């Protein structure tokens, strides 16, 4: 099954304690679709300016990402500039130039309207609603958001959350959305907005998944070299949705596996700046790291005769 | 097998967003031994003042903790006063009155000298060395420490670490000890001091275990009601060492199970102030929550025919 993703394609300038890069390929939809492309076909809806180089288009095409939904407007491509300290969990935004993204109105090409898997990356919740009006009846809809929309457009955001199956946000956003410091209580409140599944990202601490009847905890992979966490969340979402779309298995077991595949993809992406690690990644490595995750989290169940 | 623990028995005054308590039972050795007592026999070495009430002694005795090593000096019992904000991971110390603990010289009763499991709770590393000189040949020695000793007695602390099998410290302490922000690199450096196993506590994010050849990640149990994190680390260590001492299984599998039992015990302890939850806890509940941990972390391994 193919996935439709709507989000940003951008240039990023990023500084971490391990180096800096300027005007490299970034954007939520870029990370998402590249990651998902290891598992399934991806249809991308976004906008770039006339400064967007062929080299990046070639890369996305090499991942067999369908670019018919990638609009090109006159003007500059969205540019984000950020910085991380040794605490790589939190980016400090230095500059945001929306550029052509400022007037972005997602147009879903007719060929994409029957997509069964839809990911609404972090954009204005009113635009996310626009997208929902343009697609027919996706089997699974997931969305992301950010602190800015939680404070500036809370009503539109709640409307989106009520329409999607899966919300993928970070820990701070979950607390901000509910004004509830306890994460489990916050999760219950968010689920009550009408979600099937809530996935809470916790950076280097991994992910918690909540449904009405279960909780699943997946660690992040402990890495010796984390160069740049930019895009980790979208790369996670791409691996997660990509695996779901590939298998069509939306059972609890299937969703848990998809979360681990998402975590695997994110763990690779942070090993280098921009999407550089994705450029050399082989599927064999993805499966290897999935097995490493299994070994990382394995412990014996309780025998029936414990003798205690 | 019985465990010997050397640490503090104290009065705590604690304020959290959920309430406050004054002069309640606390102390590293108290939390450790109470938790371990659910799994094995515990011998306690610590000191209290002449203000220490019979009620607390009766509680420790009700847990069948051997108190022959609990000295009673004239003066006041160690008193810690602390406060937590909504971020329950970090305590703010308001007052520390060492009182009789200031001149504490651990004396290991002859009956304890053959203990096969030894836990050196967070005390002056020079006193931890004193204890090591008084015991014969423990099968497993574990120790804890804190930021204060890392900065004030780094050499003595490194000597202790070189003598123990297992170090149980928190994330910030691991980084402080090595001046290395990356936790995996920090862990490798600490292991190189001569440890078999390093356990890094991450509060509500769980625990990472490192050996020379493996890494294990255990989440913390997601709780709707965390009242007071005081003693969570020592309660973890008590469940961990208690289970190890009960089974005698120090294989990788055994240590992983012990880590989960430690996490189970900590998850109960934070549900109430002081040791109140331990007072009502039944072993049946411990096994139930162990099974809950298994369900919390379970995901399917990769089939050999993935079809991807």
Which of A87-91, A167-171, B125-129 is the least confident region? Answer: A87-91
Instruction: In whole angstroms, give the CA distance from residue A237 to residue A221.
Output: 16
Beta-carbon contacts of A31 under 8 Å, excluding residues fewer than 6 positions away, are A231, A234, A235, A238, A269, A275
Q: Residue A304 falls within a domain, yes or no?
A: no
Query: What is the pLDDT confidence band of residue A304, given thresholds at 50, 70 and 90?
Result: low
The verdict on B249 touching A (C-beta cutoff 8 Å) is no
Sign of torsion over alpha carbons B155, B156, B159, B160: negative
What strands lie across the sheet with A140-143, from one edge to the other? A65-72, A42-48, A3-6, A117-120, A140-143, A166-170, A197-201, A207-210, A215-218
Instruction: In whole angstroms, give the CA distance from residue B144 to residue B121.
Output: 5
* Nearest alpha carbon to residue A234 among A226, A242, A225: A242
CATH number at residue B163: 3.40.1190.20
* Nearest alpha carbon to residue B273 among B69, B15, B9, B3: B15
Asked if the model's pLDDT at residue B147 lies above 60, the reply is: yes
Query: What is the pLDDT confidence band of residue A305, given thresholds at 50, 70 and 90?
Result: very low
- pLDDT of amino acid B87: 79
Cα dist from B25 to B14, B60, B82, B227, B276, whole Å: 11, 10, 14, 16, 9
Beta carbons of A181 and B86 less than 8 Å apart: yes
User: Which tens digit of pLDDT belongs to each residue from B200-254?
Assistant: 999 999 999 999 999 999 999 999 989 999 999 999 999 999 999 999 999 999 9
User: Which chain A residues are within 8 Å of B39, Cβ to Cβ?
Assistant: 308
A193 three-class SS:
coil
Beta carbons of A222 and B215 less than 8 Å apart: yes
Choose among B183, B224, B302: nearest Cβ to A291: B302
User: Which tens digit of pLDDT belongs to each residue from A250-278?
Assistant: 999 999 999 999 999 999 999 999 999 99
* Nearest alpha carbon to residue A268 among A205, A225, A237: A225
Choose among A202, A296, A301: nearest Cβ to B294: A301
A-chain residue closest to B304, CA distance: A287
Residues of chain B numbered 138-167 and touching chain A (CB < 8 Å): none
Write down the mean pLDDT value for chain B. 95
- Residue among A90, A213, A219 with most chain B CBs within 10 A, to mutate: A219
Instruction: In whole angstroms, give the CA distance from residue A235 to residue A37.
Output: 11
Beta-carbon contacts of B213 under 8 Å, excluding residues fewer than 6 positions away, are none
Instruction: Say if residues A210 and A179 touch (Cβ distance below 8 Å).
Output: no
Beta-carbon contacts of B145 under 8 Å, excluding residues fewer than 6 positions away, are B122, B125, B157, B160, B167, B169, B173
- State the Cα angle at A260 between B250 and A220, rounded to 5°: 65
Instruction: In whole angstroms, give the CA distance from residue B251 to residue B36.
Output: 19
Query: What is the pLDDT confidence band of residue A85, given thresholds at 50, 70 and 90?
Result: confident
Mean per-residue pLDDT, A291-308: 81
Percent of chain B at pLDDT > 90 equals: 93
B-chain residue closest to A215, CA distance: B296
The burial class, CB within 10 Å (0-12 / 13-18 / 19+), for A168 is: buried
Instruction: In whole angstroms, give the CA distance from residue B188 to residue B211.
Output: 8
What strands lie across the sheet with A10-16, from one edge to the other? A19-26, A10-16, A79-84, A91-97
- Residue among A35, A223, A302, A306 with most chain B CBs within 10 A, to mutate: A302
Instruction: In whole angstroms, give the CA distance from residue B201 to residue B171.
Output: 6
State phi, psi for A83 to the nearest 5 degrees. Answer: -145, 145
B-chain residue closest to A305, CA distance: B287
User: Which tens digit of pLDDT belongs to each residue from A150-159?
Assistant: 999 999 999 9
Largest CA distance in chain A: 73
Query: What's the number of domains chain B is made of?
Result: 1
Q: Residue B308 falls within a domain, yes or no?
A: no
In angstroms, the first-to-last Cα distance of chain A is 50
Q: Residue A308 falls within a domain, yes or no?
A: no
User: Which tens digit of pLDDT belongs to each residue from B43-74?
Assistant: 999 999 999 999 999 999 999 999 999 999 99
Write down the mean pLDDT value for chain A. 95
Helix H or strand E encompassing A11: strand A10-16
Catalytic residues of B: 234
Q: Residue A145 falls within a domain, yes or no?
A: yes
Choose among B87, B205, B246: nearest Cβ to A308: B246
Three-class secondary structure assignment of chain B: CCEEEECCCEEEEEEECCEEEEEEEECHHHHHHHHHCCCCCEEEEEEECCCCCHHHHHHHHHCCEEEEEEEECCCCCCEEEEEECCCCCCEEEEEEECHHHHHCCCCCCHHHCCCCEEEECCCCHHHHHHHHHHCCCCCEEEECCCHHHHHHCHHHHHHHHHHCCEEEEEHHHHHHHHCCCCHHHHHHHHHCCCCCEEEEECHHHCEEEECCCCEEEECCCCCCCCCCCCCHHHHHHHHHHHHHHHHCCCCHHHHHHHHHHHHHHHHHHCCCCCCHHHHHCCHHHHHHHHHHHHHHHCCCCCCCCCCC
- pLDDT of amino acid B288: 97
B-chain residue closest to A217, CA distance: B297
Q: Residue B305 falls within a domain, yes or no?
A: no
* Nearest alpha carbon to residue B80 among B138, B12, B25, B15: B12
Instruction: Say if residues A118 and A135 touch (Cβ distance below 8 Å).
Output: yes
Asked if the model's pLDDT at residue B308 lies above 50, the reply is: no
Residue-range definition of the domain harbouring residue A223:
3-297
* Nearest alpha carbon to residue A142 among A20, A5, A2, A37: A5
Q: Residue B134 falls within a domain, yes or no?
A: yes
Instruction: In whole angstroms, give the CA distance from residue B88 to residue B39.
Output: 28
- pLDDT of amino acid B86: 83
- pLDDT of amino acid B304: 59
Residues of chain B numbered 177-196 and touching chain A (CB < 8 Å): 181-185, 188
At A273, list the tokens.
Answer: 């700046």
Beta carbons of B301 and A291 less than 8 Å apart: yes
| ipTM rounded to 2 decimals | 0.94
User: Which tens digit of pLDDT belongs to each residue from A51-64?
Assistant: 999 999 999 999 99
Q: Residue A306 falls within a domain, yes or no?
A: no
Mean per-residue pLDDT, B162-185: 96
Instruction: Say if residues A19 and A59 touch (Cβ distance below 8 Å).
Output: no
């Amino acid at each position: 099954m193919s996935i439709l993703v709507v989000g940003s394609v951008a240039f990023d300038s990023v500084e971490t304690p391990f180096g800096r890069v300027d005007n490299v390929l970034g954007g939520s939809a870029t990370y998402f679709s590249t990651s998902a492309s290891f598992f399934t076909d991806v249809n991308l809806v976004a906008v770039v300016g006339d400064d967007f180089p062929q080299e990046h288009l070639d890369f996305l095409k090499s991942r067999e990402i369908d670019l018919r939904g990638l609009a090109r407007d006159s003007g500059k491509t969205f540019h984000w500039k950020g910085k991380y300290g040794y605490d790589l969990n939190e980016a400090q935004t230095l500059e945001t130039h929306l550029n052509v993204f400022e007037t972005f109105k997602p147009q879903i090409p007719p060929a994409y309207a029957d997509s069964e898997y839809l990911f609404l990356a972090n954009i204005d919740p009113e635009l996310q609603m626009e997208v929902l009006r343009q697609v027919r009846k996706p089997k699974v809809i997931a969305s992301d958001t950010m602190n800015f929309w939680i404070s500036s457009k809370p009503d539109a955001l709640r409307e989106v959350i009520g329409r999607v199956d899966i919300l993928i946000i970070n820990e701070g956003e979950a607390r901000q959305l509910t004004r509830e410091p306890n994460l489990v209580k916050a999760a219950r409140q968010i689920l009550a907005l009408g979600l099937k599944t809530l996935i809470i990202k916790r950076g280097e601490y991994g992910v918690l998944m909540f449904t009405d009847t279960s909780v699943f905890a997946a660690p992040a992979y402990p890495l010796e070299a984390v160069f740049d966490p930019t895009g980790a969340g979208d790369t996670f979402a791409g691996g997660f949705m990509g695996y779901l779309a590939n298998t069509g298995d939306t059972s609890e077991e299937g969703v848990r596996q998809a979360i681990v595949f998402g975590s695997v993809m994110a763990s690779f992406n942070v090993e280098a700046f921009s999407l550089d690690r994705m450029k050399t990644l082989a599927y064999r490595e993805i499966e290897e790291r999935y097995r490493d995750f299994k070994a990382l989290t394995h412990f014996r169940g309780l025998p029936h005769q414990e003798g205690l």
